[in-house]
């Protein structure tokens, strides 16, 4: 967003960042074994190709370094106010502007308010009794404690078997650390190769037209390859067979049984394993624990049957609150209603980018964004181009812009209608809060581009600020 705004001489903008550096996810998550789960070349800014990814799937440090390099080269830093958390935002009907308030009590007034606070950003901890009683070192996977040595005299515990829990356990296993992973529900895991990029591969991308050709091929491949998620049929069955075959390297039938998923492939986000997790967990320094956790005790983790697993270090790989979005920020829209009230039953949006009653507020990767099918940089590009068009249109009309309630309801109905038959229904996952519609895009990927290619003025309310109620 900053890059696109920077290209516009007629727009002045500020990025507020609560931390002291850029990078978001890739700054906060530094655990061992963290690699990007899509191809590195799908995870770069579309305006700045990187020909030099070291591997097919880049490690966290490399992604962070790339982001910082791009930010330096493109002059983003001068627009960023670091260590500045926005705690409240109120739409002022009289002026048609947003009043932002920082954690230190400063205020700013802006015409447009873009919420880019991330969707996997607020760590969550499990509701396990007496967590604070643990006498060893405990931390969340997104707050890794690098002061602890990978010393095989220490006994590590990892609670969780989502994407982070799988990558962490695998990395600790190969570091020869004594580790017990607590698995509440076995996951489908993609066992993949992660080769280093060769000199020739990097060179080839630099040849005229080659990069564009490869990116086009990639995009076509992604669109074709994801159909199994959207509808049942032979492609889905073949995928499930392939994933089940990864488990065949497990020699102990009891362990194999423990790690065999009992729901359909793709219903949860699929963890990626670069160093064969199923081989890693068979090492003598690794234990998989599927018994229910009863409570945390000073010595470690107490199980339902009274067994205590003694530990020195406990990692909570227990994920993020995926339904908060910008909150706890207090966001108040045009009629004095807060986003908390509007989202009381379920979080929702128009296209992932707007909420009726919140004029000139735009979300990046809000509810119903393509979390699971379109690569994030591509999804963002669709959204950002659309948002810029709306900003221009609103300015041209001297008005504010928000999606209408009717268009938002139509959009939600389209999402609901597309869900049956997709892989995301039928199991407990973090996309859904259990009652509502999952927060993702259950439609074909090219329809995401199509949705944002058109502006559909009828879906939007353009109101002069004087006509907006502030009650």
Ligand X SMILES: Cc1cc2nc3c(=O)[nH]c(=O)nc-3n(C[C@H](O)[C@H](O)[C@H](O)COP(=O)(O)OP(=O)(O)OC[C@H]3O[C@@H](n4cnc5c(N)ncnc54)[C@H](O)[C@@H]3O)c2cc1C
Structure-block tokens of residue 21: 């550096």
The radius of gyration computed from the CA coordinates of the chain, to the nearest angstrom, equals: 23
Q: What angle do CA 354, 400, 459 make, to 5 degrees?
A: 50
Cα separation of 299 and 344, whole Å?
A: 40
Cα separation of 220 and 95, whole Å?
A: 46
Structure-block tokens of residue 221: 């491949």
Question: Of 5, 25, 180, 387, which one interacts with ligand X (CB under 6 A)?
Answer: 25
Helix axes 446-453, 376-397, angle to 10 degrees: 10
Q: Which of residues 139-168 bind ligand X (CB under 6 A)?
A: 164
Stretch touching ligand X by CB under 6 A, among 44-52, 111-119, 185-193, 332-340: 111-119
Regarding 118 and contact with ligand X (CB under 6 A), the answer is yes
Cα separation of 378 and 218, whole Å?
A: 12
Regarding 322 and contact with ligand X (CB under 6 A), the answer is no
Stretch touching ligand X by CB under 6 A, among 28-36, 154-162, 243-251, 460-468: 28-36
Regarding 19 and contact with ligand X (CB under 6 A), the answer is yes
- Sequence-ordered alpha helix ranges (H) in 227-334: 227-230, 234-246, 253-258, 277-280
Cα separation of 355 and 320, whole Å?
A: 23
- Shortest distance, position 35 Cβ to ligand X, whole Å: 7
Question: Of 2, 5, 29, 271, which one interacts with ligand X (CB under 6 A)?
Answer: 29
Regarding 99 and contact with ligand X (CB under 6 A), the answer is no
Regarding 114 and contact with ligand X (CB under 6 A), the answer is no
Regarding 85 and contact with ligand X (CB under 6 A), the answer is yes
Regarding 437 and contact with ligand X (CB under 6 A), the answer is no
Regarding 117 and contact with ligand X (CB under 6 A), the answer is yes
- Shortest distance, position 298 Cβ to ligand X, whole Å: 29
Regarding 378 and contact with ligand X (CB under 6 A), the answer is no
Query: What stretches of 292-369 adopt beta strand conformation (E)?
Result: 293-297, 300-303, 308-310, 313-316, 330-332, 361-363
Cα separation of 237 and 215, whole Å?
A: 28
Cα separation of 34 and 191, whole Å?
A: 14
Regarding 24 and contact with ligand X (CB under 6 A), the answer is yes
Q: Which of residues 32-71 bind ligand X (CB under 6 A)?
A: 34, 36-38, 43
Regarding 222 and contact with ligand X (CB under 6 A), the answer is no
Regarding 365 and contact with ligand X (CB under 6 A), the answer is yes
Q: Between 66 and 365, whose beta carbon lies closer to ligand X? A: 365
Q: φ and ψ at 251, to 5 degrees?
A: -80, -35
Regarding 121 and contact with ligand X (CB under 6 A), the answer is yes
Stretch touching ligand X by CB under 6 A, among 22-30, 149-157, 341-349, 437-445: 22-30
Helix (H) or strand (E) holding 108: strand 107-110
Stretch touching ligand X by CB under 6 A, among 114-122, 346-354, 454-462, 463-471: 114-122
- Shortest distance, position 22 Cβ to ligand X, whole Å: 7
Give me the numbers of helices (H) and strands (E) for the chain, helices first please: 14, 20
Q: Which residues bind ligand X (CB under 6 A)?
A: 16-19, 24-25, 29, 34, 36-38, 43, 85-86, 116-118, 120-121, 164, 329, 364-365, 376
């Amino acid at each position: 967003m900053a890059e696109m705004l920077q290209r516009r001489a007629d727009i002045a903008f500020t990025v507020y960042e609560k931390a002291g550096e850029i990078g978001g996810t890739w700054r906060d998550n530094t655990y061992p074994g963290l690699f990007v789960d899509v191809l590195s070349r799908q995870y770069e800014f579309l305006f700045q190709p990187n020909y030099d990814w070291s591997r097919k799937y880049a490690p966290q440090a490399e992604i962070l370094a790339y982001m910082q390099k791009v930010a330096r080269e493109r002059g983003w830093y001068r627009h960023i106010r670091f260590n500045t958390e926005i705690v409240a935002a109120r739409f002022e009907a009289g002026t048609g502007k947003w009043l932002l308030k920082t954690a230190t009590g400063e205020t700013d007034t802006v015409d447009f308010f873009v919420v880019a606070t991330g969707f996997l950003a607020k760590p969550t901890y499990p509701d396990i009794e007496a967590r604070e009683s643990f006498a060893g070192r405990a931390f969340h996977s997104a707050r890794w404690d690098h002061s602890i040595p990978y010393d095989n005299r220490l006994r590590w515990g990892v609670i969780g078997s989502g994407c982070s829990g799988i990558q962490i356990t695998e990395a600790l296993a190969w570091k020869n650390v004594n580790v017990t992973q607590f698995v509440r529900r076995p996951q489908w895991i993609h066992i993949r190769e992660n080769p280093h990029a060769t000199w020739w591969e990097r060179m080839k991308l630099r040849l005229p037209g080659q990069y564009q050709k490869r990116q086009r091929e990639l995009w076509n491949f992604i669109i074709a390859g994801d159909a199994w998620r959207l509808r049942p049929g032979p492609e889905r069955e073949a995928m499930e067979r392939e994933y089940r075959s990864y488990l065949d390297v497990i020699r102990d039938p009891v362990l194999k049984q423990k790690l065999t998923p009992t729901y359909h492939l793709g219903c949860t986000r699929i963890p990626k394993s670069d160093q064969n997790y199923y081989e890693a967990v068979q090492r003598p320094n690794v234990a998989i624990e599927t018994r229910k956790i009863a409570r945390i005790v000073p010595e470690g983790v107490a199980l339902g049957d009274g067994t205590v697993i003694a530990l020195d270090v406990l990692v909570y790989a227990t994920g993020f609150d995926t339904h908060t979005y910008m909150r706890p920020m207090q966001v108040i829209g045009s009629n004095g209603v807060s986003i908390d009230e509007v989202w009381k039953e379920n979080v929702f949006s128009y296209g992932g980018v707007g909420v009726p009653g919140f004029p000139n507020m735009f979300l990046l990767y809000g509810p119903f964004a393509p979390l699971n099918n379109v690569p994030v940089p591509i999804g963002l590009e669709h959204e950002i181009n659309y948002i810029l068009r709306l900003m221009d249109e609103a300015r041209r009309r001297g008005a504010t812009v928000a999606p209408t309630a009717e268009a938002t309801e139509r959009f939600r109905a389209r999402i609901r209608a597309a869900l049956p038959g997709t892989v995301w229904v039928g199991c407990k996952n973090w996309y859904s809060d259990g009652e509502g519609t999952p927060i993702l895009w259950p439609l074909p990927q090219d329809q995401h581009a199509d949705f944002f290619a058109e502006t559909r003025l009828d879906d939007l309310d353009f109101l002069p600020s004087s006509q907006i109620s502030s009650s």
